[in-house]
Amino acid sequence: MRNQQKKPMLRNKQFRRSLLVLILSLVIAAIWVIAIRPIPLGLDLRGGSQLTIQVKTTDKVKNITPRDLEAVQTVLSNRVNGLGVSESVIQPIRENNQISVQLPGIDDPKAAERVLGGTAQLEFRRENREKNSLVQVRREELTKLLFEEKPKLDKKGDKAAIAALDTKIAEKQKQLLDAEKNLFEKTELTGEYLKDAEQGIDNAGNWVVSIQFDTKGADLFAQLSKEAAQNGTRLGIFLDNEQISSPTVSPQYSNTGITGGSAQISGNFDDKSSRELALQLKGGALPLPVEIVENRTVGATLGRDSIQRSIYAGLCGLVLVLIFMVVYYRLPGIIANVALVIYALLNLAAFALIPITLTLPGIAGFILSIGMAVDANVLIFERTREELRTGKSLFQAVESGFDRAFSSILDSNVTTLIACGALIQLGSGFVKGFAVTLGLGVLISMITAVTCSGVLMYESTSVKRRELFCPNLPSTKRAEVI
């Protein structure tokens, strides 16, 4: 009497048919994803800019700690995100207090340097009324010399008098610059209280940067604008100690000031400069001064050459594997090749969907995972051959082969995933990219080995030709029982 055991789900023909439909649907979906969403490429394949940024100490910060580097890295990440650069890599070089920034697709490294290297220390300053009067006096004196006295001497042609006047003009210009330099006084209102910054266009069609303060910043700005409206003075807007704008405040705000915490920075901006300023302000002020010590461009030609060589190597290896599987394993080898193609399509679709930035080490991880996918099938096929040599029926050999091989497949893949997890946690940059692609490939290969190979192997037993599964089998009278 036969023991009543629970049958594996793959023995159910209806379940296998449903699984085949699901696999076919996934393959069609994968092809569609690959067609409409290109896989993002890293710096070594796509080309772009690579900057090395040196973080410097200050009088207050004598030693740079890992936390200081992390703070600078966070600000740089915010600025890079504002640039709209995808697949960027920002990682610290702790032993040198440096940060490496890779920007794929950026062909203007100077623009990236301006955005990443600028400290963006924003300050709002009040105009001193007394010093403003002095500036006006100096400006009037200089104007009189330039447009009244100098033309008269030029007509007379008195060279000695002209030389003396030029000396006097230079002196007045210096006095004017000195007076203007101390015209604006610092206040408490700085970029520390800035909540948001955005590029825009005002009613006159000029490029401006709209800013929004937090609660405390809004109060400080209201008080500062109130004083300016009452005194008829200007607000000085300074970025890194350079005056970029000096707007006036309408008298209507003399009672309350400009409330709400919103303001616009105007100046001689164009689309590019206003966007860069907004990015610097929104990204935040760097907690420590930085210096760009290296700025190099990686050409796309190297990337194309690397892609071509990688494709050739991958295709060559794949073709050799496909041929070996068919020659050595016969019909199961063909099944493994079909499962391998399905695996490759699903893996590439996953790269595009997540998305995973593909680099040369990432390609290496993908190719290695192909070998892992074949390895699972090899275990199943060898177990199946062993069962066939013991005289079992074809269906029973396939069923037993899967049952006995699954634990080995699981153990080998789990150990590989553990290694990938360690590389992701402890590694950085290209090492992490290699681990991610390999780990994802191992997960997908487990699914394809159990589902695709399993379903196709069970379906292939209907052929009932044992020599297609294992050559040189001893003859047996045993009936095929399903």
pLDDT along the chain (482 residues), means of 10: 50 80 91 88 75 84 81 76 67 84 75 69 83 81 82 79 84 80 85 82 87 90 91 81 78 88 80 76 69 76 66 79 86 87 89 80 81 81 84 82 82 88 77 83 84 81 75 55 42
The pLDDT of residue 223: 92
The pLDDT of residue 5: 45
Amino acid at 357: T
How crowded is residue 75: how many other Cβ atoms within 10 Å of its Cβ?
20
With CA atoms as reference, report the closest residue to 264 among 202, 192, 326: 202
The pLDDT of residue 354: 81
Helical (H) or strand (E) element with 314: helix 300-329
Cβ pair 173, 142 in contact under 8 A: yes
With CA atoms as reference, report the closest residue to 46 among 428, 311, 306: 306
Three-state secondary-structure class, residue 449: helix
Distance CA 171, CA 168 (A): 5
Helical packing angle, 452-460 and 13-36, nearest 10°: 130
The pLDDT of residue 1: 40
Helical (H) or strand (E) element with 359: none
Q: How far is CA 246 from each of CA 3, 198, 233, rounded to the nearest angstrom?
A: 92, 19, 10
Amino acid at 152: K
The pLDDT of residue 222: 92
The pLDDT of residue 49: 81
The pLDDT of residue 4: 44
The pLDDT of residue 28: 93
Bridge-based pairing of strands 184-185 and 235-239 is: unpaired
With CA atoms as reference, report the closest residue to 83 among 111, 110, 45: 111
The pLDDT of residue 280: 66
For 380-407, what is the HEC assignment?
A: HHHHHHHHHHCCCCHHHHHHHHHHHHHH
The pTM score is 0.55
How crowded is residue 243: how many other Cβ atoms within 10 Å of its Cβ?
16
The DSSP secondary structure of 255-287, one letter per residue, reads TT-S-SSEEEEESS--HHHHHHHHHHHHH---S
The DSSP secondary structure of 7-18, one letter per residue, reads PPGGG-HHHHHH
With CA atoms as reference, report the closest residue to 78 among 242, 241, 238, 194: 194
The pairs formed by 310-318 with CB atoms below 8 angstroms and a separation of 24 or more are 310/360, 310/363, 313/367, 314/363, 314/366, 314/367, 314/370, 317/367, 317/370, 318/344, 318/370
Three-state secondary-structure class, residue 446: helix
How crowded is residue 234: how many other Cβ atoms within 10 Å of its Cβ?
18
